Amino acid sequence: MCCAKQPVKSSMLLLLVWLLLSYFFGNIHCSTVPKNSTDMLSLLDFKQAITNDPGKVLSNWTASTPYCQWAGVKCSRTHTDRVVVLDLAGHSLTGTLTASLGNLTFLRILNLSVNHFSGHLPHLNHLHQLEVLNLSSNSLQGVIPDTLTNCSNLRKLFLAYNFLEGEIPLNVGLLSKLSTLQLTNTNLTGAIPPSLNNTLLEKIGLANNRLTGSIPSELGYLSNLSVLLLGGNMLSGVFPAFLLNMSTLIGLDLGGNLLHGELPSNIGSVFPSLRILLLGINKFEGQIPASIGNASNLEVIALSSNNFTGQVPSSFGNLLQLNKLILEDNMLEAPDTKSWEFLYALRNCNHLNVLSLAGNRLTGAIPDYIGKLPTGLAKLYLDDNHLSGLVPSSIGNLTGLICLDLDNNKLTGTIGEWIGMLKKLQYLDLSENSLNGPIPSSIGNLTRLGVLDLGHNEFTGTIPTSLAYLQQLTDLNFSYNKLEGNLPSVVFSIPTLNTFVLSYNKLEGPMPSEVGHLTQLTELLLSSNKIFGEIPDTLSQCQELNILELDKNCLTGSIPVSLGNLKSLSVLNLSHNNFSGLNPSAIGDIKTLTRLDLSYNRLQGEIPFG
């Protein structure tokens, strides 16, 4: 049924006059006005509210082109003058949504997603034939109008990634044909309306809002529900029992809420089609149910940041499609050899890409069979545990690794040449352990490395010159070790360095003039070494420098006036050296400086003004 036309506003009358003139005098192809001028008039009113069209997608929205041929517009085959589709997604259009869109009463699809529309959602309650409304990824504000529920044929509603507010309309259940509801990242508040059970919903996306209360049991009546995304809210209660009857679920996200209690022991046995299970950042406790290993289609498991105890179930090795297993920040243990069997079982998961066990209570040595994990494993996180003993050389078999993080454990022994086998590594963190011996020269094989952190260990010997091959390195930290020898000038020639930390070692020699090549450097920390000589003037070329700490060394000469050119500097510590001469007044001109320490030198003169 089609609603009666609304009274035409004065602005629309003016447009109609312009339209009539265009068709009578400006268009040599058409000499008659379309049977239905309301649709064209509504589109022109919508165009007038668009303030920026960078791709000129609306360039053919003119009287010289029939409006059914305008970009993004499709008309009905049976009612040839009525618009049924308006699709202008992804054109970076800027403007507001005019109420005239509500006059396109034959419209079935309205897709204006991935643009820059702002303002409030207009009332579209006369669009009784509308089936798909997609306004996602814009900058819309205000509440979702209750009148939207008058669009009785609506099947898919996408309003995600906007700046909406208020509650989900309580009578949303009037949209009895609704199969997809996507309101993710829209800042909505209030409770989830129980009336959703009156719909045909198959996919519900309400993640990353500010929804409160419990998950309504009425959702259990949605017999075809396949995707339920409620993560990133403030929902409370225990794991909803009604979900155990929803065997159609493919994706379940309850992460980032206030849910508590234990997970049902049979949780993995009732979801034969489940591919994604996200329950992280809640208050769940107890043991991780071994039955999860029965959900044979699982690809992603995220149970991080809860209070799970006990051991990691070895049944996870049954999940042949498993891609990501994220169990970090719990209280999981591995007190004996048997409790590490899960790691051996995971060798069967050929698609495993991410394994994170960080922030647990794992103890003992890392088993050597860690090297039997799939070679496609890209990210391995075992940091913040209580691991001890040697780092097994078999890790060198995991040639697909991009990230390896073992920091903050009790690991000992040396790092062998096997490290050079991990040629895809971009992130390596072995800090805060008790590793010793030399830094292997094969580390220079890791030419894709961006972050290298070996700080807070007991490494000895010199810094390998092979570091010169790490031309993509942005963060280097060798602090709190026992490294000796001169500062290698090759390290100062890595142009991508952003953070350079060698503090608390036994390094000596002058600071190389090549330091001026580090034009992207923001932090240079060389405290507590045996560096002597003068600060090279080339240091002033590091214009992005934010923190400079050269304290507790043997530097001499005067403090260079050129340091005053470091206009981004916030921390400058040159204390406990042998600087002499006058206090450099230029330092007082650095407006960003918040901390200055020149103590324990032989400086004279006034404190720098400012």
pLDDT of the residue at 487? 86
Whether the CB-CB separation of 360 and 333 falls below 8 Å is answered with yes
pLDDT of the residue at 3? 40
CATH topology of domain 19-133: 3.80.10
Selection from 222, 188, 184, 224 nearest residue 205 by Cα: 184
pLDDT tens digits along 392-438: 999 999 999 999 999 999 999 999 999 999 999 999 999 999 999 99
Work out the angle between the directed axes of helices 37-48 and 10-21 (0-180°, nearest 10).
110
What's the 3-state SS for 9-31?
CHHHHHHHHHHHHHHHHHCCCCC
pLDDT of the residue at 4? 37
Residues 555, 557, 563, 569, CA torsion sign = positive
Q: Is the pLDDT of residue 19 over 60?
A: no
31-36 contacts at long range (C-beta below 8 A, 24 or more positions apart): 34/66, 34/67, 34/81, 35/81, 36/81, 36/82
d(CA 588, CA 423): 46
Residue 349 CA from chain centroid, whole number: 25
pLDDT of the residue at 610? 61
Q: Is the pLDDT of residue 21 over 70?
A: no
Mean pLDDT confidence for 99-116: 97
Percent of the chain with pLDDT over 90: 87
Q: Which of 218-222, 593-597, 605-609 has the lowest mean pLDDT?
A: 605-609
pLDDT of the residue at 586? 76
pLDDT of the residue at 531? 96
Q: Which of 9-23, 49-63, 555-569, 582-596 has the lowest mean pLDDT?
A: 9-23
Total-model pTM: 0.89
pLDDT tens digits along 445-500: 999 999 999 999 999 999 999 999 999 999 999 999 999 999 888 888 899 999 99
pLDDT of the residue at 508? 94
Q: Is the pLDDT of residue 507 over 90?
A: yes
In degrees rounded to 5, what are phi and psi of residue 597? -135, 110
Q: Is the pLDDT of residue 26 over 60?
A: no
| Selected residue with higher pLDDT from 22 and 296 | 296
Q: Which of 150-154, 288-292, 526-530, 588-592 has the lowest mean pLDDT?
A: 588-592
Mean pLDDT confidence for 28-54: 76
d(CA 304, CA 318): 20
Q: How confident is the model at residue 270 (pLDDT cuts 50, 70, 90)?
A: very high
- DSSP letters, 273-304, are T--EEE--SSEEEEEPPGGGGG-TT--EEE--
Helix (H) or strand (E) holding 342: helix 341-345
Q: Is the pLDDT of residue 15 over 80?
A: no
pLDDT tens digits along 548-569: 999 999 999 999 989 989 999 9
- How far from 383 is each of 186, 213, 214, 404, 538, CA to CA, in Å? 35, 35, 35, 9, 38
- Domain spans of the chain, in order of start: 19-133
pLDDT of the residue at 36? 56
Q: How confident is the model at residue 606 (pLDDT cuts 50, 70, 90)?
A: confident
Q: How confident is the model at residue 582 (pLDDT cuts 50, 70, 90)?
A: confident
Q: Is the pLDDT of residue 1 over 70?
A: no
pLDDT of the residue at 107? 97
- Residues of the chain by 3-state class (helix, strand, coil), percent to 5: 20, 25, 50
Size of the chain, expressed as the number of residues it contains: 610
pLDDT tens digits along 68-93: 999 999 999 998 899 999 999 999 99
Q: Is the pLDDT of residue 52 over 70?
A: yes
Residue type at position 384: D
Helix/strand/coil for 238 = strand
pLDDT tens digits along 344-393: 999 999 999 999 999 999 999 999 999 999 999 999 999 999 999 999 99
pLDDT of the residue at 154? 97
In degrees rounded to 5, what are phi and psi of residue 237? 105, -170
Percent of the chain with pLDDT over 70: 94
